[in-house]
Amino acid sequence: MLKWFEQVQEGGNIVCSKIRLARNLSEYVFPSRLSDEDGRQMLARLQEELEDLGDKDGREYGSAYLDQLSELDKRALKERLILSASLLERKAPMSVLITKEEDISLILNGLDHIRIQVWSPGLRLAESLKIADRLDDHVNSRFSYAFDDRYGYLTSFPTNVGTGLRATAIVHLPTLSMGKKFPSMLNDMGRIGVSIRGVYGEGRENYGSLYEISNQKTMGRTEKELTDLVAKVATQLDDQERQIREMGLASHRPQLEDEVYKSYGVLKYARRLSMKDAMTFLSQIMSGMTDGLVKFDEPCSVFRLMLGIQTANLQKLSDRPLDKGELDGARAAYLRGELPELA
C-alpha cells in the first residue's frame, strides 16, 4: 500500500491538502498545565479506548510514545509532515496513532490533548473533513470534550477556539512567487482570514516554491465555510500560476523545455547535491510535468522525492551518522535511484 505522498497527483499545482481538528478533554487541564503524571494517565486511557479505531474505518493503525522514539525518528516524522517543530521541543509525555499510509494521524497530548490530522494528495478538503469528522465522533463517543455553547471547542491557542479546524492546502508557485507583487499579495490574504507561508523557508529562501495556505481563525465560521475559503484561495493561486506559465510557454517553450531537461540531467547524474539545488531542480521537474514538457516511463510523485531528500529521512537510510558532504552524496544517490527514466 502506497503512503499518501507516494500517490501521483496529475494536473494542477495544488500538491496536497490537510484537515486538522484540535480537541481537548473536559476532565483534564490543557497540556501546558498538565502534569507528567496526569499526562501519562490520560495517554494510557486514550490508547486503551482508541485501540479499536481501525475497526471503525478498516484501516491499520500503529502507535508510539514519542519519548520512546529516537531524535532521528522524530525529526523524520516532522519532515513527513506528521509532527510540528514545536512538538519536537516539547518534553511532556506524548504519543501518536498513525495509519500505515500516514494519511491519518492522531497526536495525543501535544499542543492540545488530541489533534486529528488527515492528509490527501491534491485538493480534497471536503473528503478529508468527512474522514476527520468520523474519527472525531468516535473519540467523542468515549470522551467528553471541552466545549462552550458560546465559543465552541476550547483549545490551547485562541486562534483555534471555535470549530478547532485548520484547513491547509500546499500549492506549487514557482513563477508567481518570483513576481514583485507576490509579497504584498501574501499580506493581503490576511484580510480575508487566510495565511500563506513557505513550506521550506520564506521569500527566495523557500527552495522548492511550495506554499502552505491555511485559515487563520476558526471562530464565527462553519467547517464548510473554512474549507471552502482555503479551497477557493488555493484554486485562485493555481489558476494565476497556470496562466502566467501558459504565457511563458507560448513565447519561450524551447527555453523552458531546456531548463527542465537540464534539471533532470543534474538530478539523474549528479554525485553530490545540496538541499537547495535538489529542491530547486525538483521544482523545475514538477513544473515540467504539470506543463507537459517532460514525461517519465512510470508514475512519479515529485513531492515524495522532496520529502525523501530531507536530512533525517536520508539519514535513516544509512547505518551510521553522515556529515554534510556525505549527506549531499546520499541525496544525489537517492535521486539517481528514485527518479524514473524519461519516456
For each of the chain's 343 residues, which pLDDT tens digit applies? 899 999 998 778 999 999 999 999 999 999 999 999 999 999 999 999 999 998 878 899 999 999 999 999 999 999 999 999 999 999 999 999 999 999 999 999 999 999 999 999 999 999 999 999 999 999 999 999 999 999 999 999 999 999 999 999 999 999 999 998 898 888 888 889 999 999 998 877 899 999 999 999 898 899 999 999 999 999 999 999 999 999 999 999 999 999 999 999 999 999 999 999 999 999 999 999 999 999 999 999 999 999 999 999 999 999 999 999 999 999 999 999 999 999 9
Q: What single-letter amino acid sits at 30? A: F
Residue spans of the domains in the chain: they are 246-338
Spatial separation of the C-alpha atoms in residues 44 and 64, rounded to whole Å: 12
